[in-house]
Amino acid sequence: MTRAEKAERIRGILAALYPVPPIPLRHDDAYTLLLAVVLSAQCTDTRVNQVTPHLFARAVTPEAMARLTAHDIEAIIKPCGLAPAKARNIRELSRLLVERHGGAVPQDFEALEALPGVGHKTASVVMAQAFGQPAFPVDTHIHRLAARWGLSSGTNVAATERDLKKLFPPSEWAALHLQMIYFGREHCPARAHDLAACPICSWAATKRRAVRERARGRTDVAVPGHRRPRAAGQRAVRSGAR
């Protein structure tokens, strides 16, 4: 099976499971989505969704947020982790939105990535989910899935993004980003994953990939086409058995 054929089959499975994937971070506009994505760094979406209502109750526009002190913001977002840096970035990016963009979130990758705390993945999420522009946000989870399924060499996140963009049409990038996130959470976790039972890994993951994951301790269950290693002290059934 070629990589393109594999991608097409995966696309069909994801579309059947998640025909209309919702955006997991609650937001009302491009600005509140931008802040939610900034807060989501090394934090769960669930925790972010618990914190943002309290933050937006204090300030829901760049102008209002810029009037708060970093200490004020930090006290609210502390449960999200990395609060000091995130608070400084939120206040400063809000100030710059007012100063440079009239209080609006720019619909431009370069302008977005020039804001404090906004990397390429964050900018991609905003471009795709707030503005409907073709973008394929790739975080560490999607990077892991693409490598596991043989859709990318997995050398780095940037290479994975390029590989995925070549395999799928731009009109489906935003949906696929969300579909892969949900699939990873519900069917394809990083650890303790039964590749043989996974709707995609059971046929997409190569034996070499599966063995490598087991060797790295990423899964402790059976690998398709391979024996489960014996427990310590267990005797082989016959001579030469592994």
- The residues annotated as belonging to the active site are 121, 139
Residues 6+ apart with CB under 8 A from 143: 152, 154, 156, 157, 160
- Decide: 41 and 121 in contact? Cβ < 8 Å: no
d(CA 14, CA 58) in angstroms, rounded, equals 38
- Decide: 199 and 10 in contact? Cβ < 8 Å: no
d(CA 210, CA 224) in angstroms, rounded, equals 8
- Decide: 60 and 26 in contact? Cβ < 8 Å: no
Q: Name the DSSP letter for residue 102.
A: T
Residues 6+ apart with CB under 8 A from 233: none
Residues 6+ apart with CB under 8 A from 9: 1, 204
